[in-house]
Amino acid sequence: MKNIIKINFSIALLTLCFWIIVLFVGCDKEVSRSPVESDPPEGFIYINSLPDRFTIFLNERNTGRLTPDSISYIEAGVYEITLKKKYFKDTALVVTLAENEKLHVSIDIASNPSMYGNLSLQTSPAGAEIIINDSATGKITPSTFFSLFPGEYRVKFKLLNHRDEEISTIVQSSKTNSYSEELRDTSVWVDYQVFNSEIASNNLTAITIDQNNVKWIGSIDIGLIKFDGVNFINYNTGNSQIPGNRINCLNVDNQNRIWVGTDKGIGIFDGSSWNIFNSSNSGLTNNNINKIRFYNNNIVWIATPSNLVKFDGINWIVYKQQEGKNWINDFYIETENKLYLGTKLDGIFIFENQSFSWMRWWNYIYCTMTVSSIEKDMSDELWFCFQPDTIGRSGISRWDGNTFTNIHLGTFQNYVNHIFIDNQNNKWISTSDGLLKYDNQNISTFYNTLNSLISSNNLKASIVDQNGIVWITTFASGLNKFKTPP
């Protein structure tokens, strides 16, 4: 019992000592206080500039503020204020701020002549009208514009018979920045591409011209394109009833309707509505249409990879040479009962009185077995275009009714893709090496990217309009217009 009393007494004594220590420490903390902080400085600098939105630097430190703005809680002292803006010279000044002073600083940068810069503009050829930020300047190249405010300017050049060109320029304080632009001559060559016109594709195939001199252009990827000389209109499977977006051939009938040969059948467009023929609603057995031609305005002949088809407006007649052939690329209608056929792999056939006869290559020795295009000139000679194959090199073979005269063009890998013969008996031949012209005396002229402003050497087809202008479709470089010399 005594031991229990002693233990309780000890615990009570320890508890008393603990609280005495806590009280002592607590009293000590209350007595030791931190000194009271002084009030912040009330110095203030308001900075304005003309023009505004200059970045404010204080003693070479970027404040992150743009004029007009203020810097607060600044101690008394001497400060360097620097205003910075892209293309402008820096503007610096030193100010002295008294204690708790509220200082207003206004800087008229626009009144400093050294802030302005000059812009020197020239073109080749000279004499182009200068338009800056959509405003006419009344000046022509070459010209220098003095005392311009620093910044970025859009400059457009306009010159008769040349394509408008627009460039981005900059003006910097106390500098003369010079720009020179070569203007594209459109008096002879004009190209229409996705980047410089409203044409919907650069990957073009066929071309034809209707009775109103409107151009109809086929593409590989986006359907049919109409060009009236000002506006491009695109007809594709998304906005029209055209059967397919890959156009292989085009032609215009005597009713001014456009016949469009696609890889999904034929579309006939009268300007407002479409009539469609394919293997499900006509006598066509193959929807891949390679060529469409008319005879006496009422007979339509159609070439496909499988067969030759005749359509009189009601009846469809299919003529087959042999199963399994990847067959007709083009044909020419000699008479009502005689056609010359150019095939993909088997050379030239004659279709006469509803039967086929083969003009065997080893008997006639024309360029190759791959025929791409056929036309007849005003001297009654047939011109056959060929692409390279295992037989030999591509070129042109002229047929006078008895023998072939072979002409090899360009490089060994040149593809001769198309021939058009105009009413002056000029032969316009589209190749993968450029454009070849044979005049009525068969004197040749060759145009490519090295000696002309044609946009590409890889040409698919050409045609001559009612004004004698040549229109050329290219692979990957859009449409070209060639105004031939008189």
As separate numbers, helices (DSSP H) first and strands (DSSP E) second, the chain gives: 2, 42
Give the pLDDT confidence score for residue 34 in this predicted structure. Answer: 55
Distance CA 266, CA 263 (A): 8
CA distance 391 to 378: 30
Which numeric CATH code is attached to 43-111? 2.60.40.1120
Contact status, residue 76 vs residue 43, Cβ threshold 8 Å: yes
The one-letter amino acid code at 245 reads N
CATH number of 116-182: 2.60.40.10
Output the 3-class SS for 412-479. Answer: CCCCEEEEEECCCCCEEEEECCCEEEECCCCCEEEECCCCCCCCCCCEEEEEECCCCEEEEEEECCCE
CATH superfamily of 189-483: YVTN repeat-like/Quinoprotein amine dehydrogenase (2.130.10.10)
The alpha carbon torsion through 60, 61, 66, 72 (nearest 10 deg) reads -110
The answer to whether 328 and 308 have CB atoms below 8 angstroms apart is yes
pLDDT of residue 36: 61
383, two tokens: 């011109």
Q: Which of 433, 474, 482 has the alpha carbon at shortest distance from 193?
A: 474
Which amino acid, residue 267?
G
How many angstroms from the chain centroid is the CA of residue 70? 49
Pairwise CA distance, residues 197 & 230, whole Å: 10
3-state secondary structure of 411: coil
Sign of CA dihedral 233, 238, 240, 244: positive
* Distant-in-sequence, close-in-space partners of 272: CB < 8 Å, separation ≥ 6: none
Structure tokens given for 72: 């607060």
What is the DSSP-derived secondary structure letter of residue 29?
H
Q: Decide if 428 contacts 396 (C-beta within 8 A).
A: no
**pLDDT at residue 35, as a whole number:** 58
Over the range 202-241, which residues count as b (16 or more CB within 10 Å of their CB) and which as e? bbbbbbbbbeeebbbbbbbebbbbbbeeeebebbbeeebe
Q: Do domains 43-111 and 189-483 have the same CATH topology?
A: no
The pLDDT profile of the chain, 486 residues, written as one tens digit per residue, is: 444 434 344 444 444 444 444 444 444 444 445 556 677 888 899 999 999 999 999 999 999 999 999 999 999 999 999 999 999 999 999 999 999 999 999 999 999 999 999 999 999 999 999 999 999 999 999 999 999 999 999 999 999 999 999 999 999 999 999 999 999 889 999 999 999 999 999 999 999 999 999 999 999 999 999 999 999 999 999 999 999 999 999 999 999 999 999 999 999 999 999 999 999 999 999 999 999 999 998 899 999 998 999 999 999 999 987 665 668 999 999 999 999 999 999 999 999 999 999 999 999 999 999 999 999 999 999 999 999 998 889 999 999 999 999 999 888 889 999 999 999 999 999 999 999 999 999 899 999 999 999 999 999 999 999 999 999 999 999 999 999 877
Contact predicate 171/425, CB 8 Å: no
Joined tokens for residue 314: 């009601």
Q: Decide: helix, strand or coil at residue 24.
A: helix
- C-alpha–C-alpha distance, residues 150 and 110, integer Å: 10
Question: Domain segments of the chain: what residues?
Answer: 43-111, 116-182, 189-483
The one-character DSSP state at 377 is: -
